[in-house]
Structure 1
Amino acid sequence: MGKKRVIQQTEEELIQETTEIEQKLQGDVKVAKSGLREGRIYIKSTYNNTIMTLTDDKGNTIAWVSAGKIGFKGTKKGTPFAASKVAEALSAAIEKVKVSKVMIYVQGVGTGRDTALRTLAAKNIDIIGIKDITPIRHGGCRPPKVRRV
């Protein structure tokens, strides 16, 4: 058995990775419609990823962004930094569509949910309200039997 070595990124690799992420942020987010006044933002934050969707009042998707779509890979997708970049990308899409008022729905227990909300609040978007739609079980499934040793 040899020594376990931790692979460390060099500064060049780190700079290259950040430039790739910035380039994908600058890339166009495909927008379906324009001319909306009110919209909804759904933030789904899991332990592994953060997905944000902009919809109209009927629920039709206008634009969506995730940490993986921007360019984060592996465990970095679930970080608060990735969630802030996702929120920045979605706010750029909101400016393109020219949505003035937004209702935010948050789902999940991931680390990026608070960061995504704060980043959206810092942008010039009128937030009507924030609602948590995380499913909560009432009783739920039967737990496994107690282990006897």
Structure 2
Amino acid sequence: MALAARRALRSLAESGALFCQRLCGVKTAASPSGGTAAAGGSGSAPPRKTGIAHSRFTHGNVFVTITDFEGNARAQASAGMCGFKGSHRDSKFAANAVAEQAARGAAQLGMKAVEVRLKGGFGVGKRKYLLRGFKQGGLTVLKIRDVTAIPFNGCRPPKKRRV
């Protein structure tokens, strides 16, 4: 029984490695055949045309990091880096400028399209202006995904007030 379970796990690992190889264009350690993933057997793969844009809105700033699908950061920007000071960092115009600067940095590296993952930013129109900034920076938005953390039960409430 344990031998059958081991065989099943091994076949699952190999099929997962083949799936990862097809999806990302990268060979993994568990793949059955060795070699490099690049065409022609060269040592480095060509740059990927798509990536993930992680955008985070806080109460006083806007952050955008554009990564490849392995999680390596390719371009980043924040409202403070774009020259906004004080409460201006938390505005729609700042979100637009941040997305545009990050998109231009990624476009210089050969990126054409991004999946956008938004965290926070329930202000007035900030998300819309952020997406507009990616378009102005030369990137196409493929998907928009909200990854804002939602508490299941929240924090413990304060004690009842006794008068």
On whether the aligned pair clears a TM of 0.5, the verdict is yes
Structure 1 stretches lacking a partner, 5+ long: 1-33
In structure 1, which of residues 81, 101, 111 is the aligned counterpart of residue 113 of structure 2?
101
50-59 vs 108-117, greater mean Cα deviation: 108-117
Q: Take 1:61 and 1:124, find their aligned partners in 2: how far apart are those partners?
A: 18
Structure-to-structure mapping, 1:1-149, within 5 angstroms: 35-111=47-123, 112-122=126-136, 124-149=138-163
Q: Which has the higher contact order (CA 8 A, sep 6+)?
A: 1
Q: Take 1:126 and 1:84, find their aligned partners in 2: how far apart are those partners?
A: 15
| Superposed CA offset, 1:24-82 (max 9, x none) | xxxxxxxxxx8222100011011200000010001111110000011111111111111
Identical aligned pairs, as a percentage? Answer: 34
Structure 2 stretches lacking a partner, 5+ long: 1-45
Between structure 1 and structure 2, the one with the greater Rg is 2
Q: 1:115 offset after TM fit, Å? A: 1.5
- SS across alignment from 2:157: coil
Q: Take 2:122 and 2:57, find their aligned partners in 1: how far apart are those partners?
A: 5
Aligned length: 116
| TM-score of the pair, normalised by structure 2 | 0.65
| TM-score of the pair, normalised by structure 1 | 0.70
> Quick one: which amino acid aligns to residue 103 of structure 1?
E
- SS across alignment from 1:40: strand
Instruction: Report if aligned partners of 1:84, 1:119 keep a CA contact under 8 Å in 2.
Output: yes
RMSD: 1.8
